[in-house]
Chains A and B, each alone.
Chain A
């Protein structure tokens, strides 16, 4: 992928400025219609999911009290892994987006929810909702592009450190929640700029420290202790469940913006961006994963990454329903709706991580394409 404005063939060159605003209006209409239709069945969905997740977690942890017995270890670990995935993805991520705020239930609300993750909800909401969703795929603005440790776009300058990025990515996948916490803290940038004494940064770092302590105490001390003679096997089980959850969420999230076919954007391209242009950037900057209903739930419906990025506060159970309309819109305006199976998209994303660990193969002719204007196109 290359910053869209520098591509020899600009994928939106055929759109006029009016087209883009019409696309925006059509998407607004889809959102308004679903928002107006929210009700009892949606509320039942999220409540039932939360109830199921809590029962599964409680049951799995109870089984793990006897994790010395291999069948108990296997069942408990599998159950806990699934519970942790549901908690982070379909429940936590989406509640923290404000998708369920409309219910006015203080127990299921973006302002009160805390999740099973080492990054405190407050900090994650800032870096994710406010920065990533606003500046999606804008090089230099959206830190989700490579999480600040990887080169995922030809237009990011190569550095020998990137040679190791397949390894960094694997390590990041295994300890993904810690990676996210460091990322939400902008740890690298803040340390490099000598901001480690800045009181605001220190306060946030302390909050992360407290959250990590609580999470570690629960998973690696208290539950193993409660298991008595099964101490070590329960410790291994919770570690495994966290590992499974991390690998799974890392894979799903990599598929959202890294696979081939996804566009990136220049910093200057979003100056004075209209609502239609913002929508268009979300359409071109995200990729879906095709699969079963179960895959969608387990991925927190991030398998509908395109729909999620268009409507980040739409309840996740509704993404599936708007897919046909959104897809038809892509087709009508000749835009590429990037989607593929999980193995294919994971492979595509990893291929890119490996390919871009090396410098670009041939020097790019930048001057010739530089003049292509932002999201404003031929007709503008």
Chain B
């Protein structure tokens, strides 16, 4: 049998050859390491963005305008972007809905952030972020989006910063011509993110806006909803807000047999609450063990027969570090806690760290 291997085109192989040559000239670094010094947003670089402007929206929320790198592929209204920000020198990753309408791939995007109490990243972005700062980005993702042909009757249910993905939808113009009702909850009128813009849209007839100011009027109940929007179960619904609200809505729509009409977006899907000890999962080894709060993860793994990398066993050599996919660990030397949610990619020293709740190690 004869096989023919397609020869790479001349320009492609020339390009590859030049790249290899450049890498040989800059070893042990890569040409990228030098290019990053001058052009961190260039095509071919890791995806990053530059903060262009930080605009206050409410006393505790701000819109951050970001110029994404050349490889940004754009977003669909309602999608979110993962953002890596250095806070106190430590890289922290969080997800934020894109609040700007889709535009050209080289145009800036906006995210809108509400500072939550003790929120490390949100407080940093709202109060301390400086124009010119480089942040890390991932491509937009998420399926909290409108279908290609928007439905004729739409209900948007949001609370607090849950308005952000919905604002992206409204600004995109995809809902133009549809019968849209937006029910939004916030403590007071001043706390309504995009308050002025939403009221303008309502005044222009683009939507019917129902603002619920919970400090005076209390939480919105399902009975309130039925009174405010009697046909809510007939509407294609997108809801975003705290877990309690979404759980209530999901139960209500499901009980009515209309579960498929409700689309929800949950912020902060995992809440890590540290404790003492926990089950440790070694994902790739397929092993799960229970470990107490004083057993190093390294020892727990070895006892369970996992082939663990190890070194000095006293916390100085960093030969045993493994990625903590999700969970919390406590440093046995000083009790300091490290928590991780998927995507954080936190590396922990297994020889001096014990489980502080369920832990999922990528090993």
Q: Is B89 a contact partner of A116 (Cβ separation < 8 A)?
A: no
| B89 touching A38, Cβ below 8 Å | yes
| Residues A218 and B27 in contact in the complex (CB < 8 Å), given A129-B311, A134-B314 | yes
Whether A42 contacts B89 by the Cβ 8 Å rule is yes
A129-B318 contact given A43-B89, A104-B345, A134-B312, CB 8 Å threshold: yes
Contact of B318 among A40, A101, A115 (CB under 8 A): A101
What's the minimum C-beta distance from A83 to chain B, rounded to whole angstroms? 12
Contact of B319 among A39, A54, A116, A129 (CB under 8 A): A129
Return A63 CB to nearest CB of chain B, in Å: 16
Write out the residue numbers on chain B whose beta carbons fall within 8 Å of the beta carbon of A125.
317-319
Task: Count residues of chain A with CB under 8 A from any CB of chain B.
Answer: 48
For A153, what are the chain B residues with a Cβ–Cβ distance below 8 Å? none
In the assembled complex, the Cα of A55 lies from the Cα of B29 at a distance in Å of: 13
A218 contacts which chain B residues (CB < 8 A)?
Answer: 24-27
Give chain B nearest CB distance to A187 CB in angstroms. 21
Residues of B within 8 A of A107 (CB): 33
CB of B28 within 8 A of chain A?
yes
Of residues 307 to 321 in B, which have CB atoms within 8 Å of A's CB atoms? 311-312, 314-319, 321
A309's nearest neighbour on chain B, judged by CB, is B316
Partner of B312, one of A54, A101, A114, A130: A130
Whether, in the assembled complex, B90 has its beta carbon less than 8 Å from a beta carbon of chain A, the answer is: yes
Chain A window 202-228, contacts with chain B (Cβ cutoff 8 Å), 1 for yes, 0 for no? 000000000000110110001100100
Contacts of B86 in A (CB 8 A): 40, 43, 103, 105
- Measured CB to CB, the closest approach of chain A to B297, in angstroms, equals 16
Expressed in whole angstroms, the Cα–Cα distance for A31 and B26 within the complex equals 37
Contact A278 B314 (CB under 8 A): yes
Binary B-proximity of A29-73 (CB < 8 A = 1, otherwise 0): 001100110111111100000010011001000000000000000
Shortest Cβ gap from A79 to chain B (Å): 15
The 8 A CB mask of A114-129 against B (1 = contact, 0 = none) is 1110000000011001
Name the A residues within 8 Å of B29 (CB-CB): 54, 114
CA distance A177 to B314 in the complex (A): 28
- Say whether A101 contacts B311, CB under 8 Å: no
A133 is an interface residue with CB less than 8 A from chain B: yes
A28-B334, A104-B90 as given contacts; A111 in contact with B312, CB under 8 Å: no
B91 within 8 A of A: yes
Contact indicator B37/A54 (Cβ below 8 Å):
yes
Q: Decide: A103 and B91 in contact? CB cutoff 8 A.
A: yes
A143 at interface, CB cutoff 8 A? no
- The answer to whether B312 and A133 have CB atoms under 8 Å apart is yes
When the two chains form their complex, are residues B27 and A39 in contact, meaning their CB atoms are under 8 A apart?
no
Q: Is the CB of A114 within 8 A of B28?
A: yes
Contact A55 B37 (CB under 8 A): yes
In the complex with contacts A101-B318, A111-B321, A313-B318, A214-B27 CB distance below 8 A: yes
Question: Scoring B residues 280 to 321 as 1 if CB is less than 8 Å from chain A, else 0, what string do you get?
Answer: 000000000000000000000000000000011011111101
* A106 close to chain B: CB less than 8 A: yes
Q: Are B25 and A226 closer than 8 Å at their CB atoms? A: yes
> Does A97 count as interface, using CB distance less than 8 angstroms?
yes
The complex places the Cα of A111 from the Cα of B88 at a distance, in Å, of 22
Residue contact B345 to A106, C-beta cutoff 8 Å: yes
Cβ of A110 under 8 Å from chain B: yes
Bound complex: CA A58 to CA B90 (Å): 28
Q: In the complex, what distance in Å separates the CA atom of A223 from the CA atom of B21? A: 11
B91 touches A105 (CB 8 A): yes
Check if B209 is an interface residue, CB within 8 A of chain A: no
Q: Which residues of chain B are within 8 angstroms of A44 by Cβ–Cβ distance?
A: 89
Contact residues, B76-93 vs A (CB, 8 A): 86, 88-92
- With a 10 A CB-CB cut-off, give which of B86, B312, B316 has the most chain A CB atoms: B316
By beta carbon, the residue of chain A nearest B92 is A104
Q: Do residues B316 and A129 form an inter-chain contact, with CB atoms below 8 A? A: yes
Q: How far is the CB of B350 from the nearest CB of chain A, in Å? A: 13
Q: How far is the CB of A21 from chain B (nearest CB, A)?
A: 14
In the assembly, what is the distance between CA of A97 and CA of B50, in Å?
31
Task: Tell whether, in the assembled complex, residue A40 and residue B28 are in contact, meaning their CB atoms are under 8 Å apart.
Answer: no
Residue contact A32 to B91, C-beta cutoff 8 Å:
no
Is the Cβ of B25 less than 8 Å from the Cβ of A116?
Answer: no
- Chain B residues near A114 (CB-CB < 8 A): 28-29
Smallest CB separation, A354 vs chain B (Å)? 33
CA of A104 to CA of B312, assembled, Å:
22
Identify which of B21, B89, B91, B319 contacts A126 (C-beta below 8 A): B319
Residues of B within 8 Å of A134, CB to CB, are 312, 314, 316-317
Q: Does B333 contact A (CB under 8 A)?
A: yes
Known: A54-B37, A103-B86, A313-B316. A215 touches B27 (CB 8 A): yes
CB of A137 to closest CB in B, whole Å? 15
Q: Apart from A103-B90, A104-B92, what are 7 other A-B pairs with CB-CB below 8 Å?
A: A39-B90, A54-B37, A106-B345, A125-B318, A214-B27, A222-B24, A275-B314
Q: List 26 A-B contacts (CB under 8 A).
A: A28-B334, A35-B334, A35-B336, A36-B336, A38-B88, A39-B90, A40-B88, A40-B89, A54-B34, A97-B318, A98-B321, A101-B318, A104-B91, A110-B318, A115-B28, A129-B319, A130-B317, A133-B317, A134-B317, A214-B24, A214-B27, A217-B24, A217-B27, A222-B21, A226-B25, A313-B318
Binding site for B on A (CB under 8 A): 28, 31-32, 35-36, 38-44, 51, 54-55, 58, 97-98, 101-107, 109-111, 114-116, 125-126, 129-130, 133-134, 214-215, 217-218, 222-223, 226, 275, 278, 312-313
List of 5 A-B pairs having minimum Cβ-Cβ separation, nearest first: A43-B89, A98-B318, A129-B317, A114-B28, A39-B88
